[in-house]
Structure 1
Amino acid sequence: MRAIISRLLHTESSLPRLYTVAFSRNGRLLSTDSNKVDEPLKVQEAETVDVPPPPTEKLLVLGGNGFVGSHVCQEALNRGLSVSSLSRSGRSSVHDSWANSVVWHQGNLLSSDSLKDSLNGVTAVISCVGGFGSNSYMYKINGTANINAIRSAAEQGVKRFVYISAADFGLVNYLLQGYYEGKRAAETELLTRFPYGGVILRPGFIHGTRQVGSMKLPLGVIGAPLEMILQHAKPLDRVPLVGPLFIPPVNVTSVAKVAVRAATDPVFPPGIIDVYGIQRYSQQK
């Protein structure tokens, strides 16, 4: 028995490879046999695993067939997002090619059932819903309709919600009381339901080419020069009574760009973004 054990201990092949080699200074493997030098250690590359890309962000635009909403849809499509829209009329009257890439839903936000199907799989919502009329009508459209949407989105687990609100215009607020009271009520609901993913944009006059039936109104002819002039006159908006009238207009493309970014960028700061913030964020790449 002693002879067998002695023979095993002195046989190199019987020992684990770990104990029969040592590293030299130049990184080559040296055998315990002084007359033998092994080849450099070859490390086999790990097998490449095909990992599927992250799921596409699915964005729901409320009022996507309107002036601002249509630009939001286009901006989102340009960024490669999956876009759907809900409005009272359903499909947009615009015949541009981008409209064919949007999934159009017809519904009324004053009815809580309208949003159920359109919210399936949605990761973010942008509301461009608003309107003018009597005070009671304006409160319903700007306030109640958006509050219903915010609550439904929160219940469905939507991550982010962006609301296109409006800047304060001083005396104008009293003339359009239902409009602004509705907007502020919706803002309060949004900040309550989405404290970490709710963004409120407060633009002033939004300019750009607006489609009205078969006509296109070039609002930028007036808005663009005013924006250029008033964007440098920020101190004037603090003048009592008339100060808010100096709030600069903003291009609809800028509003759409910031809205989509706010809806899809997880580090975009929640809260209220005024017109100067919209201009600043729209210029960032």
Structure 2
Amino acid sequence: MSAAKKLVVCGGSGFLGSRICKYAVARGWDVTSVSRSGEPRWDTVTSSPDTPSWSHEVSWERADILRPATYAPLLGGADYVVHSMGILLEADYKGIVSGRDSPVAGLQKMFSSSSAGRGVNPLDRKPREDIKPSDPKLQFSYEVMNRDSAVALAKHAVEEGVGAFCYISACGGAPIMPPRYISTKREAETAIASNFPGMRGLFFRPPFMYDSSRKFTVGMAAMAGAGTIFNGLTGNYLKDFMGAAGTKPLRVDVVAEAVVEALGDDAVRGPVEVPEMEHLAAKAWRKTML
């Protein structure tokens, strides 16, 4: 019997990451979750505060994604690594709602297309060196959280001989999202693919994800679904404008199951869009029926 595959999920305590862990455990994989919190507070990611039985098979580790020295030792012997963390809104928004910053100035920062001085190049850093910028206010920028943390993780995964790396990116942004949200996701994809060609890279581009355990996501999914129908009726004429708002939403379990299926299939690499996610999830489901 072959040895169980080892999976490390950075962001494994989150909405999507916890479900990736769940489906990997179901396959008999050795699963490690890495996050600042360790084990999730289950009522924030599922419909129950009770600890699910499968979670006892996961090693819930605490680490800081901006401090590679805290997570790099956990990558040893891993077959697959997943980066499932990022931010939808930058830390600037906290200053706006607290009144510390001018709403106009804060929104200008968030929606600015310029990324100058906001990021840290992990490729220029020594092994396991922190990737935190000198300005603490920029630690939670799109550039650092969505791009640089992923490139640093991929760099250390390569050093540990990891076979496949899955980056949770995003489909085209909705019109209300700051442009740097999606641009930093694409920059991460490009940097990982070009700098680490020997490691199989998978770039999942999920749309809006929902689950009944988070009631508000169901309503948001309904709105997104209406946008998808409208986009189809107009012959995708407004596809570029509508972005994610015109893309069919998916249950978070579909995306998670697709990620695990893709990691186990050497033929899957590069960008993975919504239709392929549905195909991979269906393929995984059929295996459970055998």
Under a length normalisation based on structure 2, what TM-score does the superposition of the two structures give? 0.70
The C-alpha deviation readout for 1:27-74, integer Å capped at 9, x for no partner, is xxxxxxxxxxxxxxxxxxxxxxxxxx1111000011011000111111
Residues 205-224 of structure 1 aligned to structure 2 (within 5 Å): 205-210=208-213, 216-217=214-215, 219-220=217-218, 222-223=220-221
Does residue 138 of the first structure (1) align with residue 142 of the second (2)? yes
Partner SS, residue 191 of structure 1: helix
Compute the displacement of 1:262 (Å): 1.5
The answer to whether the 8 A contact 2:173-2:181 is kept is: no
The answer to whether the 8 A contact 2:173-2:182 is kept is: no
The answer to whether the 8 A contact 1:236-1:246 is kept is: no
The C-alpha deviation readout for 1:129-169, integer Å capped at 9, x for no partner, is 11132454222111111111011101111000111110113
Q: C-alpha distance in 2, partners of 1:182/1:243?
A: 19
The answer to whether the 8 A contact 2:166-2:202 is kept is: yes
Amino acid at match of 2:175: L
Amino acid at match of 1:153: A
Greater RCO between the two (CA within 8 Å, min separation 6)?
2
Q: C-alpha distance in 1, partners of 2:233/2:12?
A: 31
Tell me which stretches of 4 or more aligned residues in structure 1 moved more than 6 Å: none
The C-alpha deviation readout for 1:79-135, integer Å capped at 9, x for no partner, is 111110111112222222222211011111111212222102111011111113245
Q: C-alpha distance in 1, partners of 2:182/2:241?
A: 18
Rate the CA distance shift 1:159–1:238 in 2: closer, same or farther, 3 A: farther
Which of the residues 167, 171, 189 maps onto 2:175?
A: 171
Structure with more strand by fraction: 1
Q: Which segments of 5 or more consecutive residues in structure 1 lack a partner in the other structure?
A: 1-52, 211-215
CA-atom RMSD in angstroms: 2.5
* Deviation larger for 159-168 or 192-201: 192-201
Does residue 162 of the first structure (1) align with residue 166 of the second (2)? yes
Question: Structure 1 vs Structure 2: percent identity of aligned residues?
Answer: 26
Rate the CA distance shift 1:208–1:74 in 2: closer, same or farther, 3 A: same
Number of aligned pairs?
225
Amino acid at match of 1:263: L
Q: Which segments of 5 or more consecutive residues in structure 2 lack a partner in the other structure?
A: 43-50, 93-109, 111-137
Rate the CA distance shift 1:239–1:178 in 2: closer, same or farther, 3 A: closer
Q: C-alpha distance in 2, partners of 1:122/1:184?
A: 25
Q: C-alpha distance in 1, partners of 2:70/2:167?
A: 18
Does residue 110 of the first structure (1) align with residue 66 of the second (2)? yes
Partner SS, residue 145 of structure 2: helix
The answer to whether the 8 A contact 1:139-1:181 is kept is: no
Residues 1-285 of structure 1 aligned to structure 2 (within 5 Å): 53-94=1-42, 95-131=51-87, 132-133=89-90, 134=92, 135=110, 136=138, 137-169=141-173, 171-172=175-176, 175-192=177-194, 193-194=196-197, 197-210=200-213, 216-217=214-215, 219-220=217-218, 222-223=220-221, 227=225, 230=228, 233=232, 236-239=235-238, 241-244=240-243, 245-267=245-267, 269-284=268-283, 285=286
Q: C-alpha distance in 2, partners of 1:242/1:229?
A: 11
Rate the CA distance shift 1:81–1:119 in 2: closer, same or farther, 3 A: same
The aligned counterpart of 1:40 is none
The C-alpha deviation readout for 1:172-203, integer Å capped at 9, x for no partner, is 4xx42332232122111221214661111101
The answer to whether the 8 A contact 1:85-1:105 is kept is: yes
The answer to whether the 8 A contact 2:19-2:253 is kept is: yes
Partner SS, residue 73 of structure 2: coil
Larger radius of gyration: 1
Q: C-alpha distance in 1, partners of 2:186/2:16?
A: 19
Structure with more helix by fraction: 2
